[in-house]
Amino acid sequence: MRKTNDLILQTVTKIVSFMIFMFALHIFFAGHNNPGGGFVGGLLTSGAIVLLLLAYDLKTVAGSLPIDYKILIAVGLLFAVGTGLGSLVFDVPFLTHAHDIFTLPILGETHLHTAVLFDIGVYLVVVGTTMTIIQTIGENE
């Protein structure tokens, strides 16, 4: 069988997947005040990776993104549970969040919220889950 040439697809993917990735990050960080959040952000991130998978192949993508997605799930869960446990240190109930406005060196006045840490957990688990499923099914003969 003659090998097809995916030049256009691959070139477009290079640019588009980056844009999707950025959009996913935007959606993730905007989540607290606008529609979005960890769940949709995670799904969109996986979308970007899936696009890469479609344009290239499993091996290439695994080479450029050397991530074990199963570990990603674990890390995500650790973030979520860790955020909850962190509140216990301050003698408040499990999963009590705190937020305040800080003045940071470069960013200036920034509103920081522990809920973001929790959302990072959600984000990582969603990416890990979708990618584990797709990769596992894709590798299956």
Partner 1 sequence: MSLLHLAIIAPFILAFFVPFFYKKIKAVHTGWFVLILPAILFAYFLRFLPAVKNQGAIQETVNWIPSLGIDFTAYVDGLGLLFALLITGIGSLVVLYSIFYLSKAKENLGSFYVYLLMFMGAMLGVVLSDNLIVLYTFWELTSFSSFLLIGYWYHRERSRYGAQKSMLITVFGGLAMLGGFLLLYFMTGSFSIREIISQAGDMTGDPFFIPALILVLLGAFTKSAQFPFHIWLPDAMEAPTPVSAYLHSATMVKAGIYLVARMSPVFAEEGTWFWLVSIFGIITLVWASFNAVKQTDLKAILAFSTVSQLGLIMSLLGIGAAALHYTQLNDNIYMAATVAAVFHLINHATFKGSLFMVAGIVDHETGTRDIRHLGGLMHLMPITFTIALIGTFSMAGLPPFNGFLSKEMFFAAMVNVLSLDIFNLETYGVLFPVLAWVGSVFTFIYSMILLFKTFTGKQPAQKWEKKPHEAPLGMLLSPIILAALVIVFGLFPNILSASIIEPAADAIMPAFAEAGQAFNVNITMWHGFSAELYMTIAVVVVGLFLYVFLPKWKHIYNIFPKKLSLNALYDQGLVRTEKISKNMTNAYMNGSIRSYMIYIFIAFIGILSYSMIEKKAVSFELSNLAPIGVYEIVLAIIITVASITILFAKSRLTSIIALGAVGYTVALFFVLFRAPDLALTQLVIETVSVALFLLAFYHLPKMSRKEERIRFKMASAVVSLGVGVVVTLIALSAHNNKLFDSIAQYYIENTKEQAGGANMVNVILVDFRGFDTMFEIAVLGIAALGIFGMIKLRLSRRQDG
According to the binding rule CB under 8 A, does residue 18 interact with partner 1?
A: no
Q: Which of residues 57-86 bind partner 1 (CB under 8 A)?
A: 69-70, 73-74, 76-77, 80-81, 84
Main-chain dihedrals φ then ψ at residue 108, nearest 5 degrees: 75, -145
CB 131 within 8 A of CB 49: yes
C-beta closer to partner 1: residue 61 or 116? 116
Which structure tokens are listed for 124?
A: 């990582």
Judged by CB under 8 A, the residue of 9, 40, 54, 62 near partner 1 is 40
Main-chain dihedrals φ then ψ at residue 32, nearest 5 degrees: -75, -25
Torsion-angle region of 88 (φ positive above 0: left; ψ -120 to 50: alpha; else: beta): alpha
- Which chain residues interact with partner 1 by CB under 8 A? 27, 31-40, 43-44, 47, 69-70, 73-74, 76-77, 80-81, 84, 94-95, 97, 99, 111, 113, 115, 118-119, 121-122, 125-126, 128-130, 132-133, 136-137, 140
